[in-house]
Structure 1
Amino acid sequence: MSEPAFFRTEIWHPLSVHFPITLLLLATVIMVVALFLRGDQKLFWQKAGSYSLYAGCLAAWVAIYTGDMADGIVSRKICDPTVLKSHEVAAFNLAYLFTGATVLTLSLNIIKLYHKPLRVLIVLLMLAGTYFLIDAGHNGVQVVYQQGGGVNVPSSDCNGY
């Protein structure tokens, strides 16, 4: 009998990775929309986008941490470890880009400054991060579904279930 699924550390990564995907994509869309609004609507959507960005950035670093925990287990099971490495590189790129956007957003929000060129730069960083988010997701899907990374294959008679 194998250990319960919760104690398999490679399971923690797919549990944690969906939060940053959702939050960072939502934050990017909201911040793009906020660029074209005025007045109170602009302020509301910028705050909503900022909070989504903060939570998503934190969740991205948690996903990287859990991905590092799964790496040692998954890399031994797959045929092409270069896909796993590409997944990791894209994940770090997106985390750095969204962290940069987070730092800029925090600094603008703390000093209560609206600076259009910096807001545009934040959105550009987020759009570049979104590219790497999609790339990391694509490579992650290849690791799991094409190479069986992190997948527990049951015996032919399904003994143990």
Structure 2
Amino acid sequence: MDQLPDFWRTEVFHPLSVHFPIVLLLLATLFKFIALWSSKITWDHGGRFLLILGVIGVWISIYTGNLADGIVSRQLCDPTVLKEHENFAYTTAWLFSIALILELLTRYIDLIKTRIVSVVLVLLMFSGSVTLAYVGHLGAELVYQQAAGVNIPSEDCAEFN
């Protein structure tokens, strides 16, 4: 065996880890938005739980993205897209992390639990969701337009025989 199987290629860890936090953070935003108008505490608690998992996941995605960066950046025609993807990923991670800190502060310090704080929290999460969508767009551009991290087989696909 000359090389490790595709699963163990370092740049493959990033797409494996990135999809869960995307879903978790978008759902957390939706849950917290619904919680603004719902009297059911389930939306608020569910949003908090999803936000915690999503923030953990987004930082794992940042880590795996940094692992892939050194491998992928050498193969790109336009590495500025990768840099913009990375910068907006950090912005997204920090927006949701600040939202989580605010969420935890409102949870454990009842003095600051107000409607205004809840609205600010949702606005932070909505901003994070917008940047998250843009990060996803840039990631798709890297993969589908520049073949970032893609193993392109030979013309006759001889390596699969």
TM-score range, shorter chain: over 0.9
* In the alignment, structure 1 residue 52 sits paired with structure 2 residue 53: no
Q: Counterparts in 2 of 1:150-161, with a 5 A limit? A: 150-161=149-160
Distance 1:157 1:2, change over 3 A: farther
**Unaligned regions of 5+ residues in structure 1, if any?**
none
Q: Counterparts in 2 of 1:76-87, with a 5 A limit? A: 76-87=74-85
Aligned sequence identity (%) = 49
RMSD, matched Cα: 1.0
Q: Counterparts in 2 of 1:7-156, with a 5 A limit? A: 7-38=8-39, 41=40, 43-112=41-110, 114-156=113-155
Structure with greater helix share of residues: 2
Aligned residues, how many?
A: 158
Amino acid paired to 2:109: I
Amino acid paired to 2:140: V
In 1, Cα distance between the equivalents of 2:84 and 2:138?
7
**Unaligned regions of 5+ residues in structure 2, if any?**
none
In 2, Cα distance between the equivalents of 1:66 and 1:112?
37
In 1, Cα distance between the equivalents of 2:93 and 2:35?
22
The Cα offsets for residues 117-151 of structure 1, whole Å up to 9 and x where unpaired, read as 11111101001101110110000000000000000
How far has the Cα of 1:88 moved from its partner? 0.4
Amino acid paired to 1:53: L
The secondary structure found in structure 2 opposite 1:141 is helix
Residue 4 of structure 2 corresponds to 3
Q: Which moved more, 1:104-113 or 1:70-79?
A: 104-113
